[in-house]
């Protein structure tokens, strides 16, 4: 962090500021120019509110050099994190992990048919919403606990671990018992109470990027989980809001290399919510594979035309199977397997 003092800052003010900075545990490198004096701070500045120093009348501006996140920063943890989801390993040079299933669990037949289908195609984790964050209160809200029980049954039949979205801290115990990977959806990425609660468990978390959040805000949300004690985090890009209306969201694929550079956490892509259109899912999924994603999460339905949520972006089982074949062909090009 660099603090630039205004010209003619008096020595008393400067020394007082330096004493305060030293008490925060940093080392100060001072450099005095013709007009400005610069204080370069070295050490752990993650806990320091940089902008607050700009409230001092003699501080011209403050520049942060390092990132405000520490535990999820690759700088302090160079080796890739591998997250173990009930035996399925995600990250580093592990094979890509494909998670697939319906947007929402609707009934036993629906879930079992989809679970068997995606398993046969090569998916290794089953997705299924139990509590759905719907824009309209009149839309299907999910089967709740009944859906979690159906997921547990589908897991018993197929052996696939399950991922489902948690929206309420009060349901955490239920999710800890029944779900292998707890999803925090885009709408809750900055729900800090939820993040703190999840941070106190060791359950793997699938942290989706909020649709209006920067990469730094996303990594700071991950930092919440890590700093409260849960390092088992998988990041998921699911598209962000832009001016473009031809797709539901805009898929930001550049996040894959950016996250890999800035963090050691695995990152997967959700081409379903990113595009909102089943016809676009394949291209987005293949592009994500080529860009080095650690996995994909894809919505699949046995009867998309009858789906209670997100039917328009859901792949039929046969199209999902074709997509998996193409992913298997592309992954080795970038040194990966499926």
Residues of the shown chain interacting with ligand PEP in the complex, contacts defined by CB under 6 A: 103, 129, 133, 165, 185-187, 208, 238, 270, 273
Sign of the alpha-carbon dihedral angle for 46, 47, 53, 55: positive
Residue 270 is a binding residue for Mn ion (CB under 5 A): no
Instruction: Determine contact, residues 178/147, Cβ cutoff 8 Å.
Output: no
With CA atoms as reference, report the closest residue to 7 among 65, 62, 60: 60
Q: Which is nearer to ligand PEP, 270 or 294 (CB)?
A: 270
Q: Which is nearer to ligand PEP, 94 or 270 (CB)?
A: 270
Pick one of 3, 41, 97, 103: the residue that binds Mn ion (CB under 5 A). Answer: 103
Q: Which is nearer to ligand PEP, 186 or 285 (CB)?
A: 186
For the bound state, the minimum distance from the C-beta of residue 307 to Mn ion, rounded and expressed in Å, comes to: 9
For the bound state, the minimum distance from the C-beta of residue 270 to ligand PEP, rounded and expressed in Å, comes to: 6
Stretch that binds Mn ion, among 27-35, 97-105, 110-118, 325-333 (CB under 5 A): 97-105
185 binding partner (options ligand PEP, Mn ion, none; Cβ < 5 to 8 Å by kind): ligand PEP
With CA atoms as reference, report the closest residue to 147 among 125, 136, 163, 134: 163
Distance in angstroms (rounded) separating the CA atoms of residues 180 and 160: 10
Sign of the alpha-carbon dihedral angle for 288, 125, 107, 302: positive
Distance in angstroms (rounded) separating the CA atoms of residues 263 and 119: 30
Instruction: Determine contact, residues 266/259, Cβ cutoff 8 Å.
Output: no
294 binding partner (options ligand PEP, Mn ion, none; Cβ < 5 to 8 Å by kind): none
Stretch that binds Mn ion, among 142-150, 203-211, 302-310, 319-327 (CB under 5 A): 302-310
Position of minimal CB gap to ligand PEP: 185
Tokens describing residue 8? 């003619």
What is the residue whose two structure tokens read 């013709």? 34
Structure letter (DSSP) for residue 132: -
Position of minimal CB gap to Mn ion: 103
With CA atoms as reference, report the closest residue to 49 among 36, 31, 62: 62
- Helix, coil or strand: residue 263: strand
For the bound state, the minimum distance from the C-beta of residue 309 to Mn ion, rounded and expressed in Å, comes to: 6
Q: Which is nearer to ligand PEP, 122 or 129 (CB)?
A: 129
Across the chain, which distance is largest between two alpha carbons, in Å? 77
For the bound state, the minimum distance from the C-beta of residue 81 to ligand PEP, rounded and expressed in Å, comes to: 22
For the bound state, the minimum distance from the C-beta of residue 273 to Mn ion, rounded and expressed in Å, comes to: 6
Q: Which is nearer to ligand PEP, 94 or 165 (CB)?
A: 165
102 binding partner (options ligand PEP, Mn ion, none; Cβ < 5 to 8 Å by kind): none
260 binding partner (options Mn ion, ligand PEP, none; Cβ < 5 to 8 Å by kind): none
39 binding partner (options Mn ion, ligand PEP, none; Cβ < 5 to 8 Å by kind): none
Q: Which is nearer to ligand PEP, 135 or 156 (CB)?
A: 135
For the bound state, the minimum distance from the C-beta of residue 138 to ligand PEP, rounded and expressed in Å, comes to: 17
Element (H, E) at 90: strand 88-90
61 binding partner (options ligand PEP, Mn ion, none; Cβ < 5 to 8 Å by kind): none
Residue 310 is a binding residue for Mn ion (CB under 5 A): yes
Q: Is 337 exposed, middle or buried (0-12, 13-18, 19+ CB in 10 A)?
A: exposed
Q: Which is nearer to Mn ion, 237 or 310 (CB)?
A: 310
Please, which residues have CB within 8 angstroms of residue 159's CB and are 6 or more apart in sequence? 119
With CA atoms as reference, report the closest residue to 315 among 269, 275, 287: 275
Q: Which is nearer to ligand PEP, 62 or 297 (CB)?
A: 297
For the bound state, the minimum distance from the C-beta of residue 245 to Mn ion, rounded and expressed in Å, comes to: 19
Distance in angstroms (rounded) separating the CA atoms of residues 326 and 13: 65
Residues within the interface to Mn ion (CB under 5 A): 103, 310
């Amino acid at each position: 962090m660099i603090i630039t003092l205004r010209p003619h800052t008096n020595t008393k003010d400067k020394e007082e500021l330096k004493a305060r900075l030293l008490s925060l545990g940093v080392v100060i490198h001072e450099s005095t120019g013709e007009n400005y004096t610069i204080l370069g701070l070295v050490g752990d500045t993650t806990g320091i509110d940089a902008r607050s120093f700009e409230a001092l009348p003699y501080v011209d501006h403050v520049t942060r050099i390092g990132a405000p996140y520490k535990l999820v920063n690759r700088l302090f943890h160079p080796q890739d994190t591998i997250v173990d989801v009930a035996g399925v390993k995600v990250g580093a040079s592990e094979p890509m992990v494909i998670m697939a299933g319906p947007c929402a669990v609707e009934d036993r037949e629906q879930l079992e048919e989809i679970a068997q289908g995606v398993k046969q195609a090569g998916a290794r984790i089953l997705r299924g919403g139990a509590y759905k964050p719907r824009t309209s209160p009149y839309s299907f809200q999910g089967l709740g606990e009944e859906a979690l029980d159906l997921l547990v049954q589908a897991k018993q039949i197929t052996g696939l671990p399950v991922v489902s979205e948690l929206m309420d801290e009060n349901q955490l115990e239920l999710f800890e018992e029944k779900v292998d990977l707890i999803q925090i959806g885009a709408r809750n990425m900055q729900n800090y109470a939820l993040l703190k609660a999840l941070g106190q468990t060791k359950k793997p978390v699938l942290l989706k990027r909020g649709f209006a959040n920067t990469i730094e805000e996303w990594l700071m949300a991950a930092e919440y989980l890590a700093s409260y004690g849960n390092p088992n985090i998988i990041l998921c890009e699911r598209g962000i809001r832009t001016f473009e209306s031809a797709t539901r969201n805009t898929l930001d694929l550049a996040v894959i290399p950016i996250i890999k550079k800035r963090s050691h956490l695995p990152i997967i892509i959700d081409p379903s919510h990113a595009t909102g259109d089943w016809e676009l899912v394949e291209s987005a999924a293949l592009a994500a594979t080529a860009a080095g994603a650690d996995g994909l999460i894809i919505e699949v339905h046995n009867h998309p035309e009858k789906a209670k949520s997100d039917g328009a972006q859901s792949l039929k089982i046969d199209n999902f199977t074709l997509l998996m074949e193409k992913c298997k062909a592309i992954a080795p090009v970038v040194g990966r397997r499926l």
